[in-house]
């Protein structure tokens, strides 16, 4: 096996979490099934791998098998004892400041979710309202809900494996939004998640905005494949993909979607499924699809797929803007003003979108097992927002089989996921996924892609 440069170190927290109880330390170091060590170790390794081109969770964990992280209790507080960390996280032997902060964000969120959410009877995680409350409390504990700020957060979605042209374009859009005082929230990884943040950081600097926010929202299953990029200054780890997606739409005041692969299609289907719910018909939520001139065909394919599966009503909930970063920023800025007026008139919070109705079908954690994928209801005989929920799950399974450690291992053991459904839904889905493969949108670094799925018509 190839050797990789590693570093051993000890670091102390700065600010919060400088003391932990013995019970908390015990949970974090517990390697049993109910313990937190595995998720704590794997998320920490992902954070330390910032800047790497690995987008395979299984490969990352196998590359740094000797990596270990433990907690030292001292009279003055705690230290993290780190062994075998990727050398990319250090400069002249000292851990990069942003990575240092992200490590303690991981520690904060894993402890909070376990102690205050998962095992707390006050949260009814079997109800839609209880799940939303859980998301709210996780975000509040992470100190990312800012009540005194007028709406200005733009969520940017898009692929981690994109062309240089598409990356530069996402950066240009971020720059134009930054010049207009808009903050950026993404999935925190590379590609279209990093570009808008980098552009906005330059725009904020030009406007002498020193409080610019670059929020990164992740979850344990995906973080190893999408290590937080170095611009993220607020990192939050939600416990699963469904709560991560809900955090995006509750926090954000509008969404820009850049080109991407299966994960981006999952995100598009998630937000469209929510906006198609009858209770959300009057709620303003700007949604823009945008890319450079070379992405015109990509968005035509997405638009066509949405029309064939969810219908014209879904197509009316977004606007496509090609090769015009200024237009994207202006459109978003104007529509966020409408969001502000709407929430002000109805007494809804600027910092958390309580009024948005999210059906429980979009909140229930979906385990992408072979049986669950086979049982998805991909047929037309149901409300369009419910079809969107299961289409979202199908693309989520493809993401799991592509880059998540457990998903990759399941494919190795049991073979391809089989996605069943009506022919008029399966054929456009198969064509869309095939186009992602052809355009190298499934893997980083030009690696050959081996499909993890089979569409059954």
| 206-216 confidence digits (pLDDT tens) | 999 999 999 99
Query: Once rounded to an integer, what is the mean pLDDT over residues 428-438?
Result: 88
pLDDT for 1: 44
Identify whether residues 153 and 109 lie together within a single domain. no
Identify whether residues 374 and 305 lie together within a single domain. no
Identify whether residues 60 and 115 lie together within a single domain. yes
- Is 54 a residue whose pLDDT tops 80? no
Judge whether 1 lies within some domain. no
Identify whether residues 103 and 189 lie together within a single domain. no
Identify whether residues 20 and 108 lie together within a single domain. yes
Q: In what order do the strands lie in the sheet with 6-11?
A: 6-11, 77-86, 68-74
CA distance 221 to 357: 26
pLDDT for 443: 61
Structural domains in the chain (count)? 3
CB 30 within 8 A of CB 70: no
Identify whether residues 257 and 308 lie together within a single domain. yes
Last residue of a domain, one of 120, 155, 178: 120
Q: What is the pTM of this model?
A: 0.92
| 83-125 confidence digits (pLDDT tens) | 999 999 999 999 999 999 999 999 999 999 998 998 888 889 9
Identify whether residues 330 and 382 lie together within a single domain. no
Non-local (6+) Cβ contacts of 3 within 8 A are none
Judge whether 32 lies within some domain. yes
Query: Once rounded to an integer, what is the mean pLDDT over residues 419-431?
Result: 91
Query: Once rounded to an integer, what is the mean pLDDT over residues 274-301?
Result: 95
Identify whether residues 220 and 313 lie together within a single domain. yes
Last residue of a domain, one of 316, 346, 376: 346
Judge whether 354 lies within some domain. no
Judge whether 128 lies within some domain. no
| 380-405 confidence digits (pLDDT tens) | 889 999 999 999 999 999 888 877 77
CATH (domain of 30): 3.30.1850.10
pLDDT tier at 239 (50, 70, 90 boundaries)?
very high
Give the start-end residues of each E strand in 140-279: 153-157, 183-186, 214-218, 234-237, 254-257
What percent of the chain is modeled with pLDDT above 70?
Answer: 95
CATH (domain of 316): 3.40.50.450
437 is in which domain, residue-wise? 360-456
Judge whether 129 lies within some domain. no
Q: Quick one: tokens of 229?
A: 């990029």
What's 212-239 look like in SS3?
A: CCEEEEECHHHHCCCCCCCCCCEEEECC
Lowest mean pLDDT among 58-62, 217-221, 251-255: 58-62
């Amino acid at each position: 096996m190839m050797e990789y440069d590693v570093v051993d170190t000890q670091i102390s927290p700065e600010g919060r979490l400088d003391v932990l109880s013995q019970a908390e330390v015990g949970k974090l170091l517990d390697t049993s099934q109910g313990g937190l060590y595995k998720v704590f170790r794997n998320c920490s390794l992902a954070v330390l791998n910032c800047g790497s081109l690995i987008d395979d969770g299984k490969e990352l964990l196998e590359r740094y098998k000797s990596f270990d992280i433990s907690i030292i209790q001292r009279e003055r507080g705690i230290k993290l004892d780190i062994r075998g960390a990727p050398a990319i996280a250090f400069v002249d032997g000292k851990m990069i400041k942003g990575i240092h902060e992200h490590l303690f964000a991981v520690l904060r969120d894993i402890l909070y979710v376990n102690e205050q959410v998962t095992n707390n009877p006050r949260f009814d995680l079997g109800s839609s309202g209880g799940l939303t409350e859980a998301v709210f409390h996780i975000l509040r504990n992470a100190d990312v809900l800012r009540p005194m700020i007028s709406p200005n957060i733009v969520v940017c979605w898009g692929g981690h494996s994109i062309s240089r042209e598409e990356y530069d374009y996402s950066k240009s859009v971020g720059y134009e939004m930054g010049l207009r005082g808009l903050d950026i929230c993404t999935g925190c990884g590379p590609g279209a998640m990093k570009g808008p943040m980098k552009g906005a950081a330059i725009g904020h600097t030009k406007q002498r905005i020193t409080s610019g926010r670059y929020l990164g929202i992740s979850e344990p299953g995906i973080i190893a494949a999408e290590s937080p990029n170095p611009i993220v200054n607020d990192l939050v780890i939600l416990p699963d993909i469904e709560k991560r997606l809900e955090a995006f739409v509750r926090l954000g005041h509008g969404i820009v979607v850049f080109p991407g692969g299966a994960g981006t299609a999952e995100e598009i289907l998630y937000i469209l499924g929510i906006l198609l719910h009858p209770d959300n018909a009057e709620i303003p939520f700007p949604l823009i699809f945008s890319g450079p001139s070379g992405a015109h065909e990509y968005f035509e394919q997405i638009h066509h797929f949405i029309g064939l599966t969810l219908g014209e009503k879904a197509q009316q909930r977004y606007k496509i803007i090609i090769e015009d970063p200024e237009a994207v920023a202006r459109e978003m800025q104007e529509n966020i003003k409408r969001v502000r007026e709407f929430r002000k008139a109805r007494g809804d919070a600027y910092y958390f979108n309580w009024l948005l109705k999210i059906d429980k079908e979009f909140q229930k954690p979906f385990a992408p097992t072979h049986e669950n994928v086979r049982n998805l209801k991909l047929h037309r005989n149901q409300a369009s927002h419910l079809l969107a929920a299961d289409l979202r799950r199908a693309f989520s399974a493809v993401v799991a089989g592509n880059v998540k450690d457990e998903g990759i291992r399941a494919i190795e053991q049991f073979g391809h996921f089989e996605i069943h459904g009506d022919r008029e839904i399966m054929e456009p889905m198969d064509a869309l996924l095939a186009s992602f493969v052809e355009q190298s949108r499934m893997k980083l670094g030009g690696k050959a892609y081996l499909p993890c799925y089979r569409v059954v018509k």
